[in-house]
Amino acid sequence: MAKKDGGKQRGSPRRVHKRKDIEKQWRKGTSRWQYAGEGESDHDQLDRRLSSPRQYQVVSDEQERDALVMQTGGPHILLHDGDRELRSRPRRSTTTENANATLIAIGDRVRYIDMGEEEAVITHVYGRESFLLRASVRDAEYAQVLVANIDEVIVTAAATDELLRPGLIDRYLVACAMGGVDACVCINKMDLPDDEEREFVDDLAAMYRDAGYDVLLTSCVTGEGLDELTARVRGNISAFSGHSGVGKTSLLNVLIPDLEEKTSELSDQSQRGIHTTTRSTLFPLPGEGFLADTPGIREFGLYQFDPADLHTYFPEFLDYADECRFPSCTHTHEPGCAVKEAVESEDIHPLRYRNYLQILESEQQE
């Protein structure tokens, strides 16, 4: 991976300051500090001595290399540098170009110091060019980054009553547009629906295609759509993301033979997805490219949501929004709204418009 100098001359020392606003808390019975300041993610627990840390240290560029973050969420962060994989961790002086967000996410490009024996310390996190993120469930002012620097998110659902949720799909599509990421829709487990249910899935797929999205219908049982999916991810950095239990890990196992990631059936009682993927991982694809598997989620809050911009993330709305009577039209109650007229004539699908209204209402109440 090419080095990034950040405008500095090679060989000059770089003073790395510790991150600000980090509170320290003693965890009884351990020799570990837990840093619980704003912007820290769960895995940012740094081993250190009990003596007071230095406020900064001098780091030479020659000591540092660039790498790609392949895995987070476990006891170590896994880095990929050429043909090497290293176990790593941040430290108190790790710097970042991404304010108010998860310090390190899969897909991040970082600088590190090789400590020997396949161990490394991360010194800097580069700015993210694209990302999929949501508002933290603990602090809406903080962004939880699911994956960074990716080409496409494959928003995955399943062809079952419980797991085919257009409202959640649309939230993902909006978040992808906000993060500068291309997106497509994948409806998996197409071996399950009967003829009547298949008709509903086909109608839903047509709705998203009419809105401008590519839609894949797949089944790991029958093989439907898998060749198309394989061709789509080849050579790219892509990510599966969606509700728990929709079969993201099963698709990953098909696309990457011998991976054998753990999968699980639905909960017997609720028929809701079970969180079998507990950490975020970026896997190398056969040949070229990477594919991420992210933990399934059931709720998705949009980060730094601006109600005035929401309609711009619904591509089919843009063909009509300029014809509204009022330039600041929210497409909810205003007279002379061309978007509402398009919904009434079904040039815009009523379900997409209903999801737009639900997102608008729920995010304004946050």
- CATH code of 286's domain: 3.40.50.300
Tally of structural domains, the chain: 3
**Residues 96-124: pLDDT tens digits?**
999 889 999 999 999 999 998 899 999 99
For residue 4, being part of any structural domain is answered with: no
Torsion angles phi and psi, residue 230, rounded to 5: -60, -45
> Radius of gyration (Cα) for the chain, nearest Å?
23
Same domain, 174 and 277: yes
Q: What pLDDT score does 2 carry? A: 45
Same domain, 186 and 328: no
**Residues 200-249: pLDDT tens digits?**
999 999 999 999 999 999 999 999 999 999 999 999 999 999 888 899 98
pLDDT > 70? residue 42? no
Number of Cβ atoms within 10 Å of the Cβ of 346: 8
pLDDT > 90? residue 138? no
Q: What pLDDT score does 365 carry? A: 67
Instruction: Check if the beta carbon of residue 282 is closer than 8 Å to that of residue 68.
Output: yes
Give the Cα separation of 186 and 218 in Å (integer).
7
Give the Cα separation of 256 and 262 in Å (integer).
13
Domain that holds residue 172: 131-293
Same domain, 118 and 135: no
Question: Which of 102, 71, 44 minimizes the C-alpha distance to 280?
Answer: 71
Beta bridge partners of 156: 186, 242
Same domain, 216 and 317: no
Half-sphere CA count of 159, side-chain side, radius 13 A: 25
Same domain, 110 and 159: no
